[in-house]
Structure 1
Amino acid sequence: MVLTNNEIAHEFRFFRVYKDGRVEKNLSTQKIPPSDDPISGVQSKDVVISTEPSISARIFLPKIHDPTQKLPLLFYIHGGGFCFESAFSPLYHNHVSSLVAKANAIAVSIEYGLFPERPVPACYEDSWAGLQWVASHANRNGLESWLNDYADFNRVFIGGDSGGANISHTLAVRVGSIGLPGIKVVGVILVHPFFGGMEDDHMWLYMCPTNGGLEDPRLKPPAEDLVKLGCDKVLIFFAEKDHLRGVGEWYYQELKKSGWVGSVEVLEHEGEDHVFHLMKPDCDKAFDLVNKFASFINKE
């Protein structure tokens, strides 16, 4: 007989840890298969990027009107506090599909490892491996025909929401620091980004046993990282009632004064909360977010 200790050792926003080491998440993640949207014409399919560790992605292709036209590519990183949600969940499948339809872009939505099965920094390393996999198609001889045939590797965008926005930032820093041959990252889109300086910091530190404390550069980006962002432009979305609004503003101000030579713009949705566009995808402000996201990708 195995005895369990139901005494709680740690209580965080998204999970609790019992004294016997068990982790109990507050939310579950639903997954749906890829599908073709008969209304928008967007197709999707799943690909395996790595088996050890297990990394996969869902690729979205808009309706093709001109087979010779190369399309911008969005590398999307879902949110979920580094411990739940999925590129394969209804929320993210539908959101990325709507972005693809509106922007007329290809999207690679990465499925990265989650805590506790794979503690942080797995999310960062898996996402970097996914971006490298995208770059492996730059010579048009990669494993995925949609990327070989349709992607414009000189118009690559990295984007995500919440924790996924945090990961997007770290990828852009890595691109700017060590490069990524074969692709040009034009822009980064951060939707309601998570960064350090709030109560959830200790949750992130717990999920990342190899952390560098409250000043860990992945948690609280220093100026020397911000100045290295490997893109030309950044778009940051804020929601007025978002508990992450303050740290997003901090990031925006630090980026502006870091010496980074790119351009940064922000858009705030008044009266809305964190990732409202996922919860209320049919509201006017959610449509506005998708429209702005798409126009940012297509703006010369």
Structure 2
Amino acid sequence: MDFVEAGLDPKTGVQTKDVVVSLETGLKARIFIPKINDPKQKLPLLVNYHGGGFCIGSSVDTVTHNYLTSIVTQANVIAISIDYRLAPEHLLPIAYDDSWVGLQWIATHSNGFGPEPWINDHVDIGRVFLEGESAGANIAHHVTVRVGVTRLAGLRIVGLLIVHPFFGGKERDDMYKFLCPTSSGCDDDPKLNPAVDPHLKSMGCDRVLVFVAEKDWLKPRGVAYYETLGKSGWGGTVELFETKGEDHCFHVFNSQTENARSLINKMVDFINHN
């Protein structure tokens, strides 16, 4: 896997910085910030959880770097990708816990005196979005529910972008149970089947946008998630966006195709919607 050093991207003007979120575990994150024209302007924050089946991927790999640089440039937002620890070296639910710790760390900046100046100076803590693709979408959903259940103070999660989510399936049960030995499987585990989660209606955001791809084997679970959330009693709004003729996470690997641009434009519109 190729990695990108933090620094300035001369093509877009996006700067990146790696920060340590937890000294105890060594948890890190990468911050992406667009070119700032008005230093007094506060920008929305996009918190990213990368995909990779809970066992590959990174906030500093080329795929994630290029993907987030594109979104940061087009949406004029600041992004933070949480580099959660990977299974099987770190069995689930560690990735979920790391992702939650990352959001808690961001919340420590709510008074403007957090440990990271880029967040203090340039982020609008009242306009936060969570986003993930595949396994990262699963994590982003879990974290957003946890926000609502715990009533995490300091942040306002406006929206959640769920892209080609991994919510299990019979053919992947054994794999997930290997990565998460405490899981009861796709029927009974709320992390894989939100329909059985008694906390689903506590989802801690206002809006959700669910993306599915026509040729993705995970599409039925993504559609089921959309339908389940819509009738859960949660008070927000949920929308479904399907890309025809495409497979799982196609946009991450080539963001320059027409369908990829359409998907990213939909994300940008969702973030910038007033």
The two structures have a TM-score, normalised by structure 1, of: 0.88
1:171 match: 143
Selected match of 2:112 from 140, 147, 154 = 140
Aligned equivalents of 1:189 and 1:298: distance in 2? 13
Question: Aligned to 1:228, which of 202, 205, 217?
Answer: 202
Unaligned runs of 5+ in 2: none
**What is the match of residue 235 of structure 2?**
261
**Displacement after TM superposition at 1:223 (Å):** 5.0
Residue of structure 1 in register with 2:270 after alignment: 296
SS at match of 2:41: coil
Q: Distance in 2 between matches of 1:229 and 1:196?
A: 20
Q: Of residues 256, 259, 262 in structure 2, which corresponds to 1:285?
A: 259
Contact 1:198 1:247 in 2 (8 A): no
Structure 1: stretches of 5+ with no match in the other structure:
1-28
What residue identity is the alignment partner of 1:220? N
One-letter amino acid matched to 2:238: V
**Counterparts of 1:131 and 1:95, CA distance in 2:** 20
Q: Would you say 1:57 and 2:35 are equivalent positions?
A: no
Task: Map 1:176-187 to 2 at 5 A.
Answer: 176-187=148-159
How many residue pairs are counted as aligned between the two chains? Answer: 272
CA deviation after TM superposition for structure 1 residue 279, in Å: 1.8
Deviation at 1:292, TM superposition (A): 1.0
Distance in 1, matches of 2:253 and 2:190, equals 30
Counterpart residue number, 1:46: 18
Shift of 1:39: 2.3
* Distance (whole Å) between structure 1 residues aligned to residue 141 and residue 241 of structure 2: 18
The CA deviation at 1:32 is 2.0
1:198 deviates by 3.6
- The answer as to whether partners of 2:190 and 2:197 remain within 8 angstroms in 1 is no
- Alpha-carbon distance in 2 for matches of 1:69, 1:279: 32
**Letter in structure 2 aligned against 1:122:** I
- Superposed CA RMSD in Å reads 1.1
Partner amino acid for 1:70? K
- Of structures 1 and 2, the larger Rg is shown by 1
Deviation of 1:50 (Å): 1.3
Q: Which aligned pairs between 1:235-246 and structure 2 lie closer than 5 A?
A: 235-246=209-220
What is the one-letter code of the residue matched to 1:292? K
Task: Give a deviation string over 1:58-88, Cα, whole Å, max 9, x none.
Answer: 0000111111111000110000000001111
For residues 30 and 112 of structure 1, what CA distance do their matches in structure 2 show?
A: 18
